[in-house]
Structure 1
Amino acid sequence: MNQKALKSLEYYKIIDQLAEKASSPMGKDLCKHLLPSEDVYEIRHMQTQTRDALTRLFQKGNISFGSVKDVRGSLKRLEIGSSLGISELLAIAGLLENTNRVKAYSRNERGDAREDSLDGMFESLEPLTPLSSEIRRCILSQDEISDDASSGLMHVRRSMKIANDRIHTQLASLVNGSARNYLQDSVITMRNGRYCIPVKAEYKGQVPGMIHDQSSTGSTLFIEPLAIVKLNNDIRELELEEQKEIEAVLAALSEQTAQNVDAIRADLEIMIQLDFIFARAGLAMDMNATEPIFNTEKRIRLKQARHPLIPKKQAVPIDIRLGEDFDLLVVTGPNTGGKTVSLKTVGLLTLMGQAGLHIPALDRSELSVFREVYADIGDEQSIEQSLSTFSSHMTNVVSFLEKADQDSLVLFDELGSGTDPTEGAALAISILSFLHEQGIRAMATTHYSELKVYALSTKGVENACCEFDVETLRPTYRLLIGVPGKSNAFAISSKLGLPDFIIDRARKRISKKDESFEDVLASLENSRVIIENERQEVERYKTEIAALKQELESKQEKLDERKERILREANEEARKILADTKEYADQTMKMFHKFQKDHVDTAAIEKERQNLRARMNKAEKGMSMNTAVKKPKKELKPKDLSLGDTVHVLSMNLKGTVSSHPDSKGFLFVQMGIIRSKVHISDLELVDEPVINTPGLSRTGAGKIRMSKSTSVSTEINLLGKTVDEAVAELDKYLDDAYLAHLKSVRIVHGKGTGALRKGVHNYLRRQKHVADFHLAEFGEGDAGVTIVEFKK
């Protein structure tokens, strides 16, 4: 892919965003060298990898490859038998530990999860946990080797500690004893790796030993007393032995690491690749991008595509197609209308797709594989080369025409501009005609009316325009394919305050042909706007109808289920009554037989017969009550009903509340518990709410409360965020309503917090006569943040 197109279409800005998503330096390096591919199989494979990584990010969250350092140089040294240093071994341990975390990230939580293109890479990772654990056991940090790294190192360091203790003991006796009066300070210090004491210069002869240093003024000498010279020598020898033991430990670790060089190198390569793949997925997540479908027919179909470098809230999605009915698209319209953005969107999304990156467009958008993308975009005037804008553009065009073929995508911004309009338009038409005849996919933006006419009159060439609102003088940035754009120069100038007489003079200077053409475009634009508004209105109506249909089907389904359940319960009740009656009849027959054997008198038998007849009549009455549909006592009229009235739905034998006024056909909605059903007014009967006497209150007007007031009481009250006084006041009214509604128990949500609100609620509950018991909720039902209250029966 030529560098000019990559630069003109701002491909490298996308690459910079991609590199920021990588965790490791080597992953960032892969991102920075990513270029579009020409191999459709490689492109589809990379797109699949990006999609699978994006799926994992949505399911399991982010993954980090930050501990992956470049250890390839260390692995080379191991292969030739060298020992590694502390930092190199720690880098390998970090790589293996991060490999282990990535391996764990890849494991499916469910056994039925589908396989994807990344499974093989994850499975090939070898964390080598014993090796990384051994390195961490022996090396504590960049500057410290563990005492337990080897027995020899432990022995040497124990000896060093003993020697140090002996030196400190002897020096302490000197500092606090015989040499105390000769010292500048009563401290022990080190010079050149040996323990010394600070002696005043005038007393240097009183403290025999070796002078190692003196102060800047010369008043203090740092002397190593003769008594500890041998001990200092012993410590120095032990330090040399310690260094040998450390080197032996590093050599042993290096040898153990060298045995796994191939596995470590494979882990490194896989981790770099995974970092690269997940960086592509992270970029797709940020852009809300999707996987494009690639074809080899040079067909482009972008749905709601956005330019990735424009903020999502500002970018206006556009639909673009090229290569189906036409292979050349001419985009017209006023400046700042979005023509160049549309051009760049097609080119940049093509480059991104061929680089294995998802594109910011709707799912099922299509792209094709192009061997080259040529783009002539922007003002490329060159002072150094003494080229005008027209000359620089034409230089690009010449190079494109020499190299472009049917595997190329060519993009022109303002083709033919920068020179005489008549000649520029003629050149532009000739260039586009040549590309069209060669079957090369091309897209060009222009102001020239001649190109609009060329697109209208040439098969395989299509017009498009960027919509512009003349009333607000603002572009909408919507791309409309099949409609040539109007320049709107006169309308814009008039809106900006240019005098009408100047605009009229300008109108007279354009030819009748051009004026007629602009009028046709204006008429087309007005018709398109009307049709578009009508289409949107139809779509809105269709959406509303679909929603209403779905709601109606859902309600009908609930009604059918409720009806079936009611009938099933009625049949079950009838079956129980029949079974009970049959059993009683059997018992009676047995009794008659017994009476016959025992010669009981006729009066007793007749009494039992009458009891049986009464029981059967009762059962028959019960069955008829369950199966027959009652008639309303009084035929209701619409004016008899008000919103909120309690009614009895006869066909369902349920009580409900009127929630809508009857329509012209007498149908209205009734809320029956959780079911809201549409019924006819003839199926309703007004219910007089019973008056109940409130327990615990005097039987006065204040003690009588309508049942409907208490039936809507919730089984839970939320007191979170309230003070104790506020909570108790609200709780007092709520418990009264709940008790009147004959609720068996209620939940009080007070939260855990400091416990003050819970304590206040419990103190209040202890004083309530109609509360039988209260306790904290079980684990999983609110725990200490909820109290369950049981009422007295």
Structure 2
Amino acid sequence: MNERILKTLEFEQVKNQIQQYLTTEQGTENLRQLTPSSDKERVASWLAETADGLKVQRLRGGIPVPKLNNIAPHMKRIEIGANLNGLELAEVSRVLSTTSEVVRFVEDLHDSELEFERLYFWHDQLVTLPELSGQLRRSVEADGSIRDEASAELRTIRSQIRRSEQNIREQLDGLIRGKNAKYLSDAIVTMRNDRYVIPVKQEYRGVFGGVVHDQSASGQTLFMEPKQIVELNNRLRQQQIAERNEIERILAELSASLVPYRKDILHNAYVLGQFDLMNAKARFGKELKAIVPAINDENQVFFKQARHPLIDQEMVVANDIMIGEDYQAIVITGPNTGGKTITLKTLGLLQLMGQTGFPLPVDEDSQMGIFSEVFADIGDEQSIEQSLSTFSSHMTNIVNILDKFDEHSLVLFDELGAGTDPQEGAALAIAILDAVGAKSAYVMATTHYPELKIYGYNRPNTINASMEFDVDTLSPTYRLLIGVPGRSNAFEISRRLGLANQIIDSAKQIIDEESQDLNEMISDLENQRKATETEYLEVRYYVEESEKLYRDLKNAYSYFFDEREKEMENARQKANKIVNEAEEQSEKIIKEIRQMQLSGGQGNIKEHELIDAKSQLTNLKQAEQLKKNKVLQKAKAKKQFKAGDEVIVETYGQRGTLIDKVSNKDWQVQIGILKMTISEDDMTQVAPLEEPKARQVSGVKRGNTAGVKMELDLRGKRYEEALAEVDQYIDAALLAGYAQVRIIHGKGTGALRQGITDYLKNNRQVKSFEFAPANQGGNGATVVTFK
């Protein structure tokens, strides 16, 4: 895009608003280099990144990118062999630790199965360097100071320094207390030239002996290093020099360790800057209630309820701005201070923002185009230095635009043809619009000339528009009216302000009939528009009422079905209760009859007679309770269990197999290795599981002994992934008939080893387990023996 349009439409101010949300210097640099693009694919990727940023902002509060300084100069220095200081290394360490944190954050999003368009693309470009990051973190504090843990030598030196300082202070404390206090200006220990001294009065300088390092301004106090501690100070000084040398060595070593990874570190910083920019665009969009528009394939623009981003969002008036579908040229007419220029700038600025990937302050379902260039001639650009009048300045700019624009351009003209004779200016404006239209470029122009109102009616692909003016309040409403040309309100305003009707009538007679007819036509159009708007509001009211009634009916319909299901469930429960009671009574009767038979009281009762009696009771129950109840009949049909059926036991949520019926409604069920007595009411019959096909899992092929290895290597695996593989491997090893296997888990932090130990303790198939012999991995591997 040309630099002039960016300045004219105040594009940099939008970037400044976004910049306040950035936290990294790299993000600021990425934003600084960002300019509108005419490459559709690039714009689409930028908008996708903004959409991802808004989604993360909504779901997780944004990507965790802290304040980061620019490390590019640091990487340049180590590339030429220089060493970094502690603060510079701390800044590099901050980039590496932030990289790891962002990687974990994005992986968590991925594990949550959240979909993004570009977030994972940038995540895949991050390179984590855990060993290097850990080394820097152990060696350098956030403020750049070198930690004791940076090396064993440094730890020893600093321990010696602390002991030396303590000895010196103890010696000096003994000197400044008691009888020696009268020789001192103050009973304190201080430092001069990096050596410990005490303030001695001038006249007593010979009492302590030693070296004078400084004196007060009056000369009455001497800062002396007593002879007793000269040797201790010398030793301390040597230790401090050794500390400085060791720190320089550590800095050199750490700087050298960065050299092989400098490109990865630099790219990490760039990617973090991109994440920071995504965050900033999302926060900017949230502040403006902005959205990511769609790109129209036909290059049509439809900004729904568009708002200028640089105007207070509580005060700005939103307007629908559309161009490209039904017309390619919009001519906005009307008086000054009505909002014509702001509407012009809103269209241009929002299009520039969209082609830079920024969110737009428009409503949902808005669409944008992709223009190769956006040109604008806006404002009074009179140049005293170039001795150009307003008209000459405008015309110079227009000539430049006409030389460069094409059919993929958007052209904005403010007060086209102004600054010269009205008749000539109107003719020039029409000719310029025709020239732009001849190349099928999109154009929006504002003007005062009434001739252009007629132009808007007569030219194809051209439409009139105006800014609404409230005659009652004598003020503009800043609403854009597409299809209605602006009209002069001078007569109405003058009448309301008290100008005599006679003068107004005389003025009307002076203007030509054509202009008066045009104003009357515009007035009629406005009246029709207002009537249509009133009818629309009325229709909208009835539509909303209809929608409300539909929602109420839908809710009532849903409530009806819910209540029906509840009643049917109650009926099922009552029916089942009756059936159970009848079965219990029948069982009781049969037991009594059988008891009578066994006791010999009724020797003539045969077994088949007992079965017939039971069948009759059962048939009677079905005839009375179930014949007319289809729901219970279906439920009864589902409860026809037999030995060998597979069922789900509802209470435990486990699958089991029926073994034998132990009573009228109870079955013995095999659940895993357990056998339990379960009621039929607590079981649901299910289809048997299909035999799983053999599949390769982490180096273990089920059903194929040759594919199962004698050991499982889990090094480098994540904790949850490793435990899942152990579970699958143990099963496969048991199927393969192995008596003993080895699991290699490494030493590490010990978390994985402990997790595997806990698992093996709870596995019933494991007879014993122990760490491997020293020559086979020691406590980095576990040998498992099966039963």
Q: With structure 2 as the length reference, what TM-score do the two structures score?
A: 0.71
* 2:301 is aligned with 1:266: no
In the TM superposition, residue 18 of structure 1 has moved relative to its aligned partner by 1.8
Identity rate, percent = 41
Q: Which amino acid aligns with 1:372?
A: E
Tell which deviates more after alignment, 499-508 or 573-582. Answer: 573-582
Q: C-alpha separation between the residues in 2 aligned to 1:575 and 1:230?
A: 102
Is contact 1:184–1:200 with CA below 8 Å preserved after alignment?
A: yes
Q: Please say if 1:245 is aligned against 2:242.
A: no
What letter corresponds to residue 524 of structure 1 in structure 2? L
Q: Which amino acid aligns with 2:563?
A: R
Determine helix, strand or coil for the equivalent of 1:289. coil
1:565 and 1:543 mapped to 2: Cα distance?
A: 33
Structure 2 partner of 1:121: 122
Q: Distance in 2 between matches of 1:587 and 1:242?
A: 97
Amino acid in the other structure paired with 2:72: R
Name the SS of the counterpart of 2:445 in structure 1.
Answer: strand
What residue number does 1:350 align with? Answer: 351
SS of match in other structure, 2:287? helix
In 2, Cα distance between equivalents of 1:201 and 1:401: 89
The 1:161/1:497 distance shift into structure 2, 3 A limit, reads same
Q: Distance in 2 between matches of 1:178 and 1:323?
A: 99
How many angstroms does 1:267 deviate by?
Answer: 1.0
CA separation in 1, counterparts of 2:320 and 2:80? 60
Task: Label 1:184 to 1:349 Cα distance change in 2 as closer, same or farther (>3 A).
Answer: closer
Q: Which amino acid aligns with 1:12?
A: E
C-alpha distance after superposition, 1:496-515 (max 9, x if no partner): 33332222121111111211
After TM superposition, list the pairs within 5 Å mapping 1:197-276 onto structure 2.
197-276=198-277
Relative to structure 1, the CA distance from residue 401 to residue 205 in structure 2 (aligned partners, 3 Å threshold; closer, same or farther) is: closer
- Give the aligned partner of residue 77 of structure 2: 77
The alpha-carbon deviation at position 279 of structure 1 amounts to 2.1
Report SS of the residue matched to 2:467: strand
Counterpart secondary structure, 2:488: coil
- Structure 2 CA distance, aligned partners of 1:571 and 1:143? 76
1:300 is aligned to 2:301: yes
Following superposition of structure 1 onto structure 2, how do residues 337-486 of structure 1 map, counting pairs within 5 Å? 337-486=338-487
Aligned amino acid, residue 34 of structure 1: L
**Mapped contact 1:298–1:369 kept (Cα < 8 A):** yes
| Residue identity in the other structure for 1:132 | S
**SS of residue paired to 1:448:** coil
- Residue 91 (structure 1) aligns with: 91
SS at match of 1:124: coil
- Give distance in 2, aligned partners of 1:460 and 1:66: 52
Structure 1 residues 408 and 534 mapped into 2: Cα distance closer, same or farther (>3 Å)?
Answer: same
User: Cα gap change, 1:241/1:523 in structure 2, threshold over 3 Å: closer, same or farther?
Assistant: same
CA distance in 2, matches of 1:74, 1:536: 64
**In 2, distance between residues paired with 1:142 and 1:592?**
95
Please list every run of 5 or more consecutive structure 1 residues that lacks an aligned counterpart in the other structure. Answer: 600-615, 625-793
Distance 1:562 1:85 in 2: 75
Cα gap change, 1:620 to 1:385, in 2 (>3 Å)? same
Task: Choose 54-63 or 194-203, whichever is displaced more.
Answer: 194-203
Distance 1:201 1:342, change over 3 A: closer
Change in Cα spacing, 1:398 to 1:179, as seen in structure 2 (3 Å) is same
Counterparts of 2:27 and 2:270 in 1: how far apart (Å)? 10
> SS at 2:295's partner residue?
strand
**Could you tell which deviates more after superposition, 446-455 or 172-181?**
172-181
- The structure-2 alpha-carbon separation of the partners of 1:81 and 1:387, relative to structure 1 and needing over 3 Å to count, comes to closer
Shift of 1:550: 2.1
Q: 2:533 maps to which residue?
A: 532
* Matching residue's letter, 2:325: E
Contact kept in structure 2, 1:68 and 1:271, CA below 8 Å: no
Alignment partners' CA distance in 2, 1:581 and 1:25: 83
Report the CA distance between 1:42 and its aligned residue.
Answer: 1.0
Amino acid at match of 1:262: K
Residue 606 of structure 2 corresponds to: none
For 1:648, the equivalent position in structure 2 comes to none
- SS of the equivalent of 1:307 reads coil
Residues 70/588 of structure 1: CA separation in 2 closer, same or farther (3 Å cut): closer
CA–CA separation in structure 2 for the residues paired with 1:384 and 1:244: 64
Counterpart code for 2:2: N
After superposition, the Cα gap between the structure-2 partners of 1:319 and 1:588, relative to the gap in structure 1 and judged at 3 Å, is same
In the alignment, the residues of structure 1 paired with residue 230 and residue 179 of structure 2 have an alpha-carbon distance, to the nearest angstrom, of 18
* 1:430 shift after superposition: 1.6
Cα distance change of structure 1 residues 293 and 556 upon mapping to structure 2, 3 Å threshold: closer
Q: Distance in 1 between matches of 2:295 and 2:515?
A: 42
- TM-score normalised according to structure 1 size: 0.71
Bigger Cα displacement from structure 2, 497-506 vs 516-525:
497-506
Cα distance in 2, alignment partners of residues 590 and 273 from structure 1: 83
Cα contact 2:319–2:480 (8 A) shared by 1: yes
1:157-172 matches, cutoff 5 A:
157-172=158-173
Counterpart of 2:6 in structure 1 is 6
Does the Cα contact within 8 Å between 1:463 and 1:482 map onto a contact in 2? yes
Q: CA deviation at 1:308?
A: 1.4
Match of 2:332 in 1: 331
How far does the alpha carbon of each residue in 1:341-388 deviate from its partner, in whole angstroms, 9 at most, with x for none? 221111111111111112222233222222221111122223333333
The offset of 1:573, in angstroms, is: 4.1
For residues 603-623 of structure 1, what are the alpha-carbon distances to aligned partners after superposition, in whole Å with 9 as ceiling and x for unaligned? xxxxxxxxxxxxx9xx999x9
Assess if the C-alpha contact under 8 Å between 1:298 and 1:441 holds in 2. Answer: no
Deviations 1:315-365 (A, max 9, x none): 222222222222211112233222222211111111111111122222332
Q: Deviations over 1:53-99 (max 9, x none)?
A: 21111111033534321112222232333322111111111112222
Alpha-carbon offset, residue 572 of structure 1: 6.0
Task: Specify whether residues 219 and 459 from structure 1 end up closer, same or farther in structure 2 by C-alpha distance, changes over 3 A only.
Answer: closer
Amino acid in structure 2 at the alignment position of 1:97: S
Cα 1:590/1:176, change in 2 over 3 Å: closer
Kindly provide the amino acid, as one letter, of the partner of residue 42 in structure 2. Answer: E
8 Å CA contact 1:452, 1:484 repeated in 2: yes
- Tell me which residue corresponds to 1:139: 140
Q: How does 1:496-645 map to 2 (within 5 A)?
A: 496-563=497-564, 565-566=566-567, 569-570=570-571, 573=574, 577=578
> Matched residues in 2 for 1:179 and 1:334: separation?
94
For the 8 Å contact 2:87–2:145, the answer to whether it is kept is: no
Query: Secondary structure of the equivalent of 1:324?
Result: coil
- In structure 1, the residue corresponding to 2:472 is in which secondary structure? coil
- Answer whether contact 2:37 2:356 (CA < 8 A) is retained: yes
Counterpart-to-counterpart distance in 1, 2:218 and 2:572:
115
Q: Does 1:54 align with 2:35?
A: no
Deviation, 1:52, is 1.3
CA deviation after TM superposition for structure 1 residue 546, in Å: 1.7
1:591 and 1:78 mapped to 2: Cα distance?
A: 100
Q: Using the TM superposition, give the Cα deviation of residue 581 of structure 1 relative to its aligned residue in structure 2, in angstroms.
A: 6.5
Aligned to 2:35: 35
Secondary structure of the residue aligned to 1:381 is coil
Following TM superposition, by how much is the alpha carbon of 1:582 offset from its aligned partner in structure 2, in angstroms? 8.4
Conservation of the 8 A alpha-carbon contact between 2:47 and 2:357? yes
Structure 2: unaligned runs, 5 residues or longer: 604-619, 629-787
Question: Are the aligned partners of 1:175 and 1:187 in contact in 2 as well (CA < 8 Å)?
Answer: yes
Deviations 1:705-757 (A, max 9, x none): xxxxxxxxxxxxxxxxxxxxxxxxxxxxxxxxxxxxxxxxxxxxxxxxxxxxx
Cα distance change on mapping 1:459 and 1:87 into 2, 3 Å: same
Shift of 1:443: 1.0
What letter is aligned with 1:238?
Q
Deviations 1:586-618 (A, max 9, x none): 9889999989x979xxxxxxxxxxxxxxxx9xx
The one-letter code matched in structure 2 to 1:527 is: Q
Hey, what's the Cα distance between the residues in 2 that align with 1:547 and 1:141?
60
What amino acid sits opposite 1:426 in the alignment?
A
Tell me what 1:605 maps to. none
Q: Secondary structure at the match of 1:107?
A: helix
1:52 partner letter? D
Paired position in structure 1 for 2:493: 492
- Per the alignment, residue 669 of structure 2 pairs with none
C-alpha change, 1:252 and 1:528, in structure 2 (3 Å) is: same
Alignment partners' CA distance in 2, 1:229 and 1:589: 115
